[in-house]
Homo-oligomer: A and B are copies of this chain.
Amino acid sequence: MSIIEAAKAAKKASIDLAAIDTVIKDRALAEIVNELENRMQDIVTANNEDMTRSKNENLPSPLLKRLKFDEHKVVDVIAGIESLRKLPEPVGKTLDATALDTDLELYKVSCPIGVIGVIFESRPDALVQISSLCLKSGNAVILKGGTEARSTNRILWEIIKTASEKAGIPSGWIQLIETREDVTAMLKLDDSIDLIVPRGSNEFVKYIMENSNIPVLGHADGICHCYIDEGADIEMAVNIALDSKTQYVAVCNATETLLVNKNLAESYLPLLKKAMDKKSVELVGDERVRSIIDIGIATDEDWKSEYLDYKLSIKIVDNIKEAITHINTFGSGHTEVIVSNNKENVETFMNLIDSGNVFWNCSTRFSDGFRYGFGAEVGISTNKIHARGPVGLEGLLIYKYKMIGHGNIVDDYETQKKTYKHVKLKKEFKL
């Protein structure tokens, strides 16, 4: 099937999928779990094929690690689907209701976006996770995975397609495309794809953002900061910086730059260095930092770098304003922390920092859909519209206005025969 045909089929299926009953969607998720369990061995075999081929083709070892999809991973994705199945139906929720007049009621009701394009590198678990999110939220999905994972992706797609369609989900709702040329074509399909969710490296996400007019939900960089304010609890400030940097370094919500107020630097930095040394973190700093602790030089390039590694850049700032300006200049709008005992400063920080997540006295690593309690995560967005920060199921939803009239015409209101009442209603949409 060509990408154009695939997109048309997905668009067609998306219409019926938008109206499908919760029972059918949940039954489909249960069927998918069954089939993943039943075909565990086939999945592992397919993945071994991908792993062997990719080793022969000298795929770098971090990518090989992400490509691996063994029994453990299958069990993990099954747990994910089970928790998704337990979440309440996100479609058809009344978000707002207004009586425009006694016999004219307006309802704002949640509904799926339509067709979601998902482009991901290596990790086959992304395929399962995002497809089940799309199913639960009533969206059709077009998947493009990395070619190195083609056998694994194909069997996972077949399992999800077969199991869901058996349960009554409209045929064609899940499409898999496989060639690089298809991606280029996909990015141009503004007519049939409503939103693209990319999962992969920052270069990869940037490429997609720059080469499509379709809205993209995600983030390229995660350059997160901790700012240690004057008067902060020093021990807390060490612990938070340490957790933010080292709890898991290869993720977007790990801290990359530490900003330290000048009035606290002399007491704080030596303790910080001691703690970071224990975790073998490479530290680089500006001249003022280096006059207090013996570490490498940080340049402007460092302030813009997402290390994703055991490396941290440190800068001394004169005051909170300088910290805020630094973050708004070099940050990526992801997650920033202030460690402080001064409420006024915390308020300034939270209001003036232009990022999706602004925290007081806790680790940047909390910036995550599961930790936020969303139950399922579409991804983390640094967009300024639609959805920002960690995005749960609601990132795959929009709304429709549904109006119930009794023959009402606008002319009656324009000619003042009738007047609008605009009374807020506390009730659910019902015909």
List residues of chain B with CB within 8 A of the CB of A346.
431
Is A195's beta carbon under 8 Å from chain B?
A: yes
Question: How would residues 75 to 105 of chain A score, 1 for a CB under 8 Å from any chain B CB and 0 otherwise?
Answer: 0000000000000000000000010100010
Interface size on A, residues (CB 8 A): 77
Identify the stretch in A51-59, A264-272, A307-315, A362-370 within 8 Å (CB) of chain B at 4 or more residues. Answer: A362-370
CA distance A384 to B385 in the complex (A): 12
Report yes or no: B100 in contact with A366, Cβ–Cβ below 8 A: yes
Residue from B100, B233, B372, B384 in contact with A195 in the complex, judged by beta carbons closer than 8 Å: B384
List residues of chain B with CB within 8 A of the CB of A210.
213
Report yes or no: B347 in contact with A422, Cβ–Cβ below 8 A: no
CA distance A359 to B409 in the complex (A): 12
Report yes or no: B431 in contact with A384, Cβ–Cβ below 8 A: no
Identify the stretch in A24-32, A60-68, A122-130, A350-358 within 8 Å (CB) of chain B at 4 or more residues. Answer: A350-358
Report yes or no: B408 in contact with A355, Cβ–Cβ below 8 A: no
Beyond A352-B15, A386-B385, A401-B358, whether A100 also contacts B371 by CB under 8 A is yes
Report yes or no: B213 in contact with A372, Cβ–Cβ below 8 A: no
Q: Which residue of B lies closest to A108 (CB)?
A: B389
Identify which of residues 307-365 in chain A touch chain B, using a CB-to-CB cut-off of 8 Å. Answer: 324, 328, 343, 346-348, 350-352, 354-363, 365
Is A200's beta carbon under 8 Å from chain B?
A: no
Is A23's beta carbon under 8 Å from chain B?
A: no
Residue from B365, B401, B408, B431 in contact with A357 in the complex, judged by beta carbons closer than 8 Å: B401
Is A400's beta carbon under 8 Å from chain B?
A: yes
Residue from B114, B354, B361 in contact with A407 in the complex, judged by beta carbons closer than 8 Å: B361
Is A250's beta carbon under 8 Å from chain B?
A: no
Beyond A247-B411, A404-B360, whether A422 also contacts B384 by CB under 8 A is no
Residue from B367, B385, B390 in contact with A215 in the complex, judged by beta carbons closer than 8 Å: B385
Is A49's beta carbon under 8 Å from chain B?
A: no
Report yes or no: A19 in contact with B351, Cβ–Cβ below 8 A: yes
Residue from B239, B357, B408 in contact with A409 in the complex, judged by beta carbons closer than 8 Å: B239
Shortest CB-to-CB span from A337 to chain B, Å, is 9
Beyond A100-B373, A354-B114, A384-B113, whether A405 also contacts B359 by CB under 8 A is yes
Q: Which residue of B lies closest to A19 (CB)?
A: B351
CB within 8 Å of B: which residues of A? 14-16, 18-19, 98, 100, 104, 106, 113-114, 194-195, 209-210, 212-213, 215, 217, 233, 236, 239-240, 242-243, 247, 324, 328, 343, 346-348, 350-352, 354-363, 365-367, 371-373, 383-386, 388-390, 398-411, 413-414, 420, 422, 431
Given contact pairs A243-B411, A362-B407, enumerate 19 new A-B contacts (beta carbons under 8 Å): A15-B324, A18-B354, A100-B372, A104-B362, A195-B385, A215-B215, A215-B383, A240-B407, A243-B410, A247-B409, A359-B403, A360-B405, A361-B404, A361-B405, A373-B420, A385-B385, A385-B386, A388-B399, A389-B401
Nearest 8 CB-CB pairings of A with B: A362-B405, A243-B409, A19-B351, A373-B422, A365-B410, A194-B384, A362-B408, A386-B386
